A and B are shown apart, each in its own frame.
Chain A
Amino acid sequence: MAHSPRIKFILGGVLILAAVIYLIVSSTQASAQYFLTIEELNAKGESIIGKNVRVSGAVLGDTIQYDPQSLTLQFSVAHVTADNREIEAQGGLAEVLYQATIDPNRPRLQVIYHGPKPDLLRNEAQAIMTGKMGADGIFYADELLLKCPTRYEEAVPVQAEG
Chain B
Amino acid sequence: MLADFGFGILLIAFLTALYSIGAALYGHFSRRQKWVESARLAMLLTFPLLTLASLTLIYLLVIGDFNIRFVYEVTSRDMPTYLKITALWGGQSGSLLFWSWLMSLFATAVTLRKWERDREFLPWVILVSSITIAFFLSLNIFFENPFQRFWQTFQGVEPATFRPANAIPFTAEEGRGLNPLLRHPGMVIHPPMLYLGFVAYVIPYAFAIAALITGRADDRWIRLTRRWSLTAWLFLSLGLVLGGRWAYDVLGWGGYWAWDPVEIAAFMPWLTGTAFLHSVMIQEKRGMLKRWNMILIILTYSLVVFGTFLTRSGVLSSVHAFAQSEIGPAFFIFIGITLVTSVALLIYRWDSLQAEGQMHSMFSREALFLLNNLLFMGILVICFWGVISPLISELITGQKVTVGPPYYERAAGPLFALLVLLMGIAPLSAWGHITLKNLAAQNSLELEKRYALAIARLLWKPAIPALLVLIGLLIAGITNIYALIGLTFAALTASITIYEFWRAARARERAQGENLLTALWRLAGRNRRRYGGYTIHLGVILMAIGIIGIEMFQSETQKSLAVGENIQLAGYTVRYDSLAQFPTNDGRWVTRAVVSVFDKNGQFLTELYPRYDVYADGQPMTIPGVRSTLADDLYVLLINWEGVTAQVAPFKVYHNPLVNWLWLGAFVFIFGTLIAAWPEEEREPLPTQARKTKAIYQPGD
Contact = CB atoms under 8 A, between A and B. Distances in A.
A and B associate in one complex: yes
A71 B382 contact: no
A118 interface: yes
B25 interface: no
A31 B407 contact: yes
A31 B152 contact: no
A24 B388 CA distance: 13
B444 A156 contact: no
A30 B382 contact: no
Contacts of B629: none
B403 interface: yes
B552 interface: no
B401 A27 contact: no
Interface in A51-99: 54, 66, 68-69, 71, 82, 84
A30 B408 CA distance: 11
Interface in A1-56: 1, 4-5, 8-9, 12-13, 16, 19-20, 23-24, 26-28, 30-36, 54
B558 A35 contact: no
Interface in B403-437: 403-404, 406-408, 410-412, 414-415
B358 interface: yes
A27 B618 contact: no
B159 A156 contact: yes
Given A8-B444, A153-B323, A28 B156 contact: no
Given A23-B410, A28-B389, A35 B401 contact: yes
A4 B447 CA distance: 11
Contact of A5 (B371, B444, B619): B444
Contacts of B403: 27-28, 31-33
A31 B404 contact: yes
B268 to A, nearest CB: 15
B170 A68 contact: no
Contacts of A105: none
B116 interface: no
Interface in B31-86: 66, 69, 72-73
Nearest to A115: B558
A23 B176 CA distance: 46
A9 B359 contact: yes
Contact of B639 (A20, A23, A116): A116
Nearest to B367: A9
Nearest to A92: B324
Given A13-B374, A23-B382, A151 B401 contact: no
Nearest to B381: A20
Given A24-B381, A69-B560, A156-B158, A33 B642 contact: no
B150 interface: yes
Contacts of B381: 20, 24
Interface residues of A, number: 46
A61 to B, nearest CB: 13
Contacts of A68: 560, 643-644, 648, 650
A57 B315 CA distance: 20
Interface in A116-155: 116-120, 130, 151-155
Contacts of A24: 381-382, 385, 411
Nearest to A120: B620
A157 interface: yes
B652 interface: yes
Contacts of B400: 34-36, 82
B173 interface: yes
B362 A12 contact: yes
Contact of A159 (B172, B619, B648): B172
B565 to A, nearest CB: 12
A161 interface: yes
A68 B371 CA distance: 53
A71 B558 contact: yes
A34 B172 contact: no
Contacts of B620: 119-120
Given A68-B560, A157-B157, A5 B359 contact: yes
B390 interface: yes
A151 B617 contact: yes
Contact of A27 (B367, B406, B642): B406
B515 interface: no
B367 A155 contact: no
A91 to B, nearest CB: 14
A120 B621 CA distance: 11
A119 to B, nearest CB: 4
A160 B399 contact: no
B359 A16 contact: no
B156 A156 contact: yes
Contacts of B603: none
Interface string B313-327: 000000000011000
A9 B394 CA distance: 37
A154 B618 CA distance: 15
Given A9-B359, A118-B640, A160-B170, A71 B443 contact: no
B650 A54 contact: no
Interface string B392-403: 001000011111
A160 B404 contact: no
A54 B393 CA distance: 15
Contacts of B170: 157, 160
B450 interface: no
A33 B626 CA distance: 33
B340 to A, nearest CB: 24
Contacts of A118: 640
Contacts of A19: 378
Contacts of A1: 443-444
Contacts of A130: 404
Contacts of A117: 639-640, 642-643
Contacts of B362: 8-9, 12
Nearest to B358: A5
B360 interface: yes
A117 B643 CA distance: 9
B378 A116 contact: no
A112 to B, nearest CB: 16
A32 B389 CA distance: 10
Contacts of B411: 23-24, 26-28
A30 B152 contact: no
A35 B404 CA distance: 12
Interface of B: 66, 69, 72-73, 150, 152, 156-159, 170, 172-173, 176, 179, 323-324, 358-362, 367, 371, 374-375, 378, 381-382, 385, 389-390, 394, 399-404, 406-408, 410-412, 414-415, 443-444, 558-560, 617-620, 622, 639-640, 642-644, 648, 650, 652
User: 3 shortest A-B CB distances, which residue pairs?
Assistant: A35-B400, A160-B157, A157-B172
11 contacts: A16-B378, A20-B415, A23-B411, A27-B406, A33-B402, A35-B402, A68-B644, A117-B639, A151-B176, A156-B159, A157-B170
Given A156-B159, A160-B156, 4 more contacts: A27-B382, A33-B403, A117-B639, A157-B172
